[in-house]
Amino acid sequence: MSSSLAKSDKKTSKFISLILRHKPETIGITLDEHGWADVSELIAGVSRTHPITLEDLERIVAQDEKQRYSFNDDKTLIRANQGHSIPVDVGLEQVEPPEMLFHGTATKYEEAIDREGLIPKSRLYVHLSGDEETARKVGIRHGKPVIYRIKSGEMHGDGYVFYRSVNGV
């Protein structure tokens, strides 16, 4: 895996994530039904507030630890791999999950999850991790972490469908 992003690239990456996962209209672009955005339009729109070149974008995509983004083969299109709150079909692979998966969150959400269960809320899917450490890292971003152990093998046997994104989530 590549190294961490520089501080300025992290800010730009977060802005790109907002655009490609939630609010493309922020910079006046649209995504196609599979979540793809035109790279030149993205660069032009992002550059209004976060100056960026194609080389900068390529570096951000390559070095993002969570592998949030993918280019098409000729790098004319880009999309977020997961985490959308807008309806797109990124072609997630349906898979048979391992016996156990993990969901990281913060204690402030524990009561609601215990009452309502794990629900996607504003996202299209509930995100699960293959290991506790990744789930802990996700949870700590929101406060004191809580990790839920998901009996995914049992759930799959009961008819629940699981998908895996390009970055393994």
Cα–Cα distance measured from residue 99 to residue 80, given in angstroms and rounded to the nearest whole number? 27
pTM score above 0.85: no
Cα–Cα distance measured from residue 61 to residue 75, given in angstroms and rounded to the nearest whole number? 11
Where does residue 15 rank: exposed (0-12), middle (13-18), buried (19+ CB within 10 A)? middle
Element (H, E) at 146: strand 145-150
**pLDDT tens string 125-144:** 888 999 999 899 989 988 99
Q: Which of 113, 122, 112, 96 is nearest to 149 (CA)?
A: 113
pLDDT tens by residue, the chain, 169 residues = 344 677 778 899 999 999 999 999 999 999 999 999 999 999 999 999 999 999 999 999 999 888 889 999 999 999 998 888 888 888 888 899 999 999 999 999 999 999 999 988 877 788 899 999 989 998 998 899 999 999 999 999 999 999 988 777 7
